[in-house]
Amino acid sequence: MRLFKKGVRVTNEAFLERTPREKFLVVFFLVTMVLLWGLNFLNRSRGDWQTWQQLERTYEQQQVWIDNAEMIGGLVEEEIGRLERDRLLTRTRLLSEINRLARAQDLSPSIDTPRTEEGEIFQFHTVTVRLSRSPMERIIAFTDSIQDRSPYMSMGELILIPDRNDPRNLEARYEITAVEISDEEN
């Protein structure tokens, strides 16, 4: 305690010995530092509060799912029963089906290797398809043919870019996803 009082006394004496201009600068510096610290604290507190609110909303949504798990499970089983298993697409069938739909529109697709996301009930196979220098009518027809395959095949993203050499043609990039029932369910 004695050391603290001595430190305060020495600091006070050092402050009082300064010119008014130096005193002003020291006080200004200290007020600025406290203000910056306070604003930083408020900013972090606001971010923590927003995170907390988001966690509460997520918890409430998950609680609704948990409370209705039996009903949701029944609906899922009912919808799975409605799916025609022979129309479900494996990775290989997805590639051949996209190729067939594109060839039917006289298009030459560039198809990437499918990515598979496995879940408890379903497997989702996603592939990127590129069509270069294609007329708009054929792209629309190809898109319609994919949409006709719903819910077995769906488009996640479609990007159209005009061809620089011929504005009547487009470059298209599709993200196409197919669903397959996992082996445990078959």
Name the pTM for this structure.
0.61
- Cβ contacts of 143 within 8 Å, gap of 6 or more: 155, 158, 174
* pLDDT recorded at residue 183: 67
The segment(s) of the chain belonging to CATH 3.30.70.60 are 85-185
Phi-psi region of 133 (alpha: psi -120 to 50; beta: other; left: phi over 0): left
Q: Would you say residue 82 has pLDDT above 60? A: yes
25-37: per-residue pLDDT in tens?
888 999 999 999 9
Number of Cα atoms under 13 Å in the Cβ half of residue 59? 6
CA 109 from centroid of its chain's CA atoms:
27
Q: How far is CA 62 from CA 56, 65, 73, 75, 136, in A?
A: 10, 5, 15, 18, 43
Q: Which CATH topology does 85-185 take?
A: Alpha-Beta Plaits (3.30.70)
Burial of 102 (0-12, 13-18, 19+ CB in 10 A): buried
35-48 pLDDT, tens digit per residue, is 999 999 999 999 99
Q: Are 89 and 125 in contact (CB under 8 A)?
A: yes
CA distances from 64 to 11, 59, 90 (A): 61, 9, 33
Confidence of residue 95 (pLDDT cuts 50, 70, 90): very high
The per-residue pLDDT for 184 is 53
Task: Tell me how far apart the alpha carbons of residues 24 and 115 are, in angstroms, rounded to a whole number.
Answer: 65
Dig out the tokens for 175 from the structure. 């993200």
Are 136 and 162 in contact, with CB atoms under 8 Å apart?
no
Task: Pick the more confident residue, 166 or 182.
Answer: 166
